[in-house]
């Protein structure tokens, strides 16, 4: 891959950390005026919230899940990130667009009810753990010194895509101005069927029983890990394949295996400070 030969470098834009050449200032500026097709929904998430899982679900909802042509397309082509420098505006190729950008930085057209937005959230403690491992696994991110250091950087927002707290608060505060569906990783783990039905109804798609079963089969953690079109592990230029896996554990509550009691108490106090009035509660 072209990108793999280049060296990666962090840069700041609007106070948020990005990585060149995956991102560029030109792309981030360009994206603000992006013209978007109102029939193509936008998936918004903070990194490591289960984005890939929802990309797979939405792409299966929007196509026939047994269509072999569709099955042999990479998920990253079907649902590209608009802020990546590789993104091209050939909308015919995409079923869904994806972004990790905060509300301020997305295309202006997104800030209206014209585009359907699916916002995905995950318990920040599990996001931290997933992201900590992802920083060790990715060549384009700096490996953390240790978990304590990463935790502090995360709380400060000194990580890839900035502050989790700002991301969710900001998007959520604009939800009534948007055509907005809020889903959580925890709800998907608890009752995936209901979440798929909710997403399908938001996208005005009727799913018959067979289609729903087929989607459920194709979006399990193991099915997605095995499927070369949903597992980009082989992009070895981007990842240290010997240092982990993109499909790492795929569970709720792995934070309990990483946070010390003192770290948990400290994080809870920060969370209280920043999020006490936030209406959504994570388990």
| Active site residues per annotation | 100
Of 109 and 139, CB closest to ligand PPS: 139
In the complex, least distance from residue 115 CB atom to ligand PPS, rounded to whole angstroms? 20
In the complex, least distance from residue 230 CB atom to ligand PPS, rounded to whole angstroms? 8
Of 13 and 221, CB closest to ligand PPS: 221
Task: By CB under 6 A, name the binding residues for ligand PPS.
Answer: 45, 47-53, 126, 130, 133, 219-221, 224, 247-250, 254
Of 74 and 109, CB closest to ligand PPS: 74
In the complex, least distance from residue 89 CB atom to ligand PPS, rounded to whole angstroms? 21
Tokens (6 digits) for 119 = 């916002």
Of 216 and 275, CB closest to ligand PPS: 216
In the complex, least distance from residue 216 CB atom to ligand PPS, rounded to whole angstroms? 11
């Amino acid at each position: 891959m072209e990108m793999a030969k280049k060296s990666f470098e962090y840069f700041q834009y609007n106070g948020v950390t990005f990585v060149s050449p995956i991102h560029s200032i030109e792309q981030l500026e360009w994206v603000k005026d992006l013209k978007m097709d109102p029939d193509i929904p936008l998936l918004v998430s903070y990194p490591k919230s289960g984005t890939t899982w929802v990309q797979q679900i939405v792409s299966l909802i929007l196509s026939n899940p047994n269509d072999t042509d569709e099955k042999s397309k990479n998920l990253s082509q079907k649902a590209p990130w608009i802020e990546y420098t590789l993104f091209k505006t050939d909308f015919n190729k995409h079923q869904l667009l994806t972004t990790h950008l905060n509300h301020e930085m997305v295309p202006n057209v997104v800030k209206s009810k014209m585009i359907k937005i699916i916002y995905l959230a995950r318990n920040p403690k599990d996001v931290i753990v997933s992201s900590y491992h992802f920083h060790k696994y990715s060549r384009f991110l700096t490996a953390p010194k240790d978990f304590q250091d990463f935790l502090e950087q995360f709380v400060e927002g000194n990580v890839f895509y900035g502050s989790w707290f700002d991301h969710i608060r900001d998007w959520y505060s604009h939800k009534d101005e948007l055509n907005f569906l809020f889903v959580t990783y925890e709800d998907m783990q608890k009752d995936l069927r209901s979440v798929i039905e909710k997403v399908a109804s938001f996208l005005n798609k009727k799913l018959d029983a067979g289609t729903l079963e087929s989607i459920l089969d194709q979006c399990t953690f193991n099915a997605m890990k095995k499927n070369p079109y949903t597992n980009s592990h082989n992009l070895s230029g981007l990842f240290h394949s010997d240092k982990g896996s993109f499909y790492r554990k795929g569970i709720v509550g792995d934070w309990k295996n990483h946070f010390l009691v003192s770290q948990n108490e400290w994080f809870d106090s920060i969370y209280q400070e920043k999020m006490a009035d936030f209406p959504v509660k994570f388990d």
